[in-house]
């Protein structure tokens, strides 16, 4: 069979099946091992032969089987990342910064999200593991016991970011949201507010529930009522913020201040106040956790606690790259912990 007829036959196969390494070898007129060597270690093949094989690969549309390459070399260039939601601002900021660093170092990120449906955690986790990752990163809390058991038995580095510190992985990077909300509550009390409410989302998360405790305990220490709280297990949205503050003001029209677990909720609260002609902060002070640059641009600007998720991501990537460049067993007995401080930013709303 001449090269023209083979090319026509192979191109026809591209619509019905995957072009194989053997097809590339036959088209280039070399052995399969030579093609494999040219693709995996091109420096070991002559320029003329490498060009011939690359031409065949491009012409036939051959896609190398990365899984086979991993099995052959024992090395993976993939990092698996489990996040709670792609719609969550903290998750997206962390993920973007992590990808930037790892991609510059020739690692690819494979992402899985359960969208706060904890029953799907194990399913998403097992799907991610099919990519044979070199390491695993968890952003947020893992609630499923089966998923935790799987993670604890992985023979690769596992890093937990803003997760439950009671579960020990290779590295735990965390922040104290309960302490942050307690600080916000003290701040509002010092400003003269006593009737302070709390609005929170994703409250089936152990870490988010720390916020509620921080608010509640601080008010009780000052012998003040901690009754005005509205929470949801679902994702934080502006619409939830609008509905929650409407309900809270119906219960207690004399409410003086409110703390929100997320910026999105606080923005919803502020928009509802504007609609009702409630002056912020004169008639209602507002503060939030998980603030971003949006807090600077809204009017009035939003008092917040800001957490540097980009810096967390860079620290995570730095630690991973160190482990992956060293001997495989170095991370096994290492259990490190990094606590990231929050930054308080007083603005016009509180």
- Confirm or reject CATH 1.10.260.40 for domain 21-64, answering yes or no: yes
pLDDT at 184 over 80: yes
- 205-245 pLDDT, tens per residue? 666 788 999 999 999 999 998 999 999 988 899 999 999 99
Which pLDDT band holds residue 13 (cuts at 50, 70, 90)?
A: very low
E strand segments, 213-313: 229-231, 257-260, 285-288, 303-306
Task: Output the pLDDT for position 6.
Answer: 44
Mean pLDDT estimate for the chain: 84
Task: Measure the CA–CA gap between 312 and 202, rounded to whole angstroms.
Answer: 21
Q: How many helices (H) and strands (E) does the chain have?
A: 14, 12
At 335 the pLDDT is: 63
Does position 56 have pLDDT exceeding 80, yes or no? yes
Rg (CA), the chain: 27
CATH code given to domain 177-306: 3.40.50.2300
* The pLDDT value given to residue 9: 40
CB atoms within 10 A of CB 222: 12
Q: Rounded CA gap, 122 and 149, in Å? A: 10
Q: Which residues pair with 303 in a beta bridge?
A: 287
**Alpha carbon distance 276, 54 (integer Å):** 67
C-alpha count within 13 angstroms, C-beta hemisphere, residue 269? 33
DSSP label at 331? Answer: G
pLDDT category of residue 263 using cuts at 50, 70 and 90? very high
Which ranges in the chain are annotated with CATH 3.40.50.2300? 75-175+310-341, 177-306
Comma-separated ranges of CATH 1.10.260.40 domains in the chain:
21-64
More confident residue, 250 or 170: 250
Task: Give the architecture (CATH level 2) of 75-175+310-341.
Answer: 3-Layer(aba) Sandwich (3.40)
Q: Is 192 exposed, middle or buried, given 0-12, 13-18 or 19+ CB atoms closer than 10 A?
A: exposed
């Amino acid at each position: 069979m001449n090269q023209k007829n083979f090319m026509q036959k192979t191109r026809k196969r591209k619509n019905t099946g995957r072009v194989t390494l053997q097809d590339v070898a036959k088209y280039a007129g070399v052995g399969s091992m030579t093609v494999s060597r040219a693709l995996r270690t091109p420096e070991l093949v002559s320029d003329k032969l490498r060009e011939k094989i690359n031409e065949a690969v491009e012409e036939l549309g051959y896609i190398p089987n990365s899984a086979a390459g991993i099995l052959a070399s024992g090395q993976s260039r993939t990092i698996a990342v489990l996040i709670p939601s792609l719609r969550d601002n903290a998750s997206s900021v962390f993920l973007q910064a992590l990808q930037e660093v790892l991609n510059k170092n020739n690692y690819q990120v494979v992402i899985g999200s359960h969208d706060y449906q904890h029953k799907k955690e194990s399913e998403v986790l097992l799907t991610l593991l099919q990519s044979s990752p070199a390491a695993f990163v968890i952003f947020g809390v893992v609630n499923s016991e089966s998923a935790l058991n799987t993670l604890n038995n992985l023979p690769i580095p596992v890093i937990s970011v803003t997760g439950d510190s009671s579960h020990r992985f290779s590295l735990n990077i965390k922040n104290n949201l309960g302490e942050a909300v307690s600080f916000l509550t003290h701040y509002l009390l010092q400003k003269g507010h006593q009737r302070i409410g709390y609005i929170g989302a994703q409250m089936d998360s152990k870490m988010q529930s720390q916020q509620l405790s921080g608010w509640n305990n601080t008010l009780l220490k000052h012998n003040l009522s901690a009754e005005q709280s509205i929470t949801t297990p679902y994702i934080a949205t502006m619409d939830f913020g609008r509905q929650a503050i409407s309900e809270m003001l119906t219960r207690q029209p004399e409410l003086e201040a409110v703390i929100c677990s997320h910026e999105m909720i606080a923005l919803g609260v502020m928009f509802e106040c504007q609609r009702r002609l409630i002056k912020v902060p004169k008639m209602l002070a507002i503060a939030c956790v998980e603030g971003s640059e949006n807090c600077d641009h809204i009017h009035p600007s939003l008092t917040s606690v800001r957490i540097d998720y980009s810096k967390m991501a860079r620290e995570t990537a730095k630690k991973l790259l160190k482990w992956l460049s060293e001997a495989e067993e170095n991370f096994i007995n290492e259990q490190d912990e990094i606590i990231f401080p929050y930054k308080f930013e007083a603005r016009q709303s509180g």
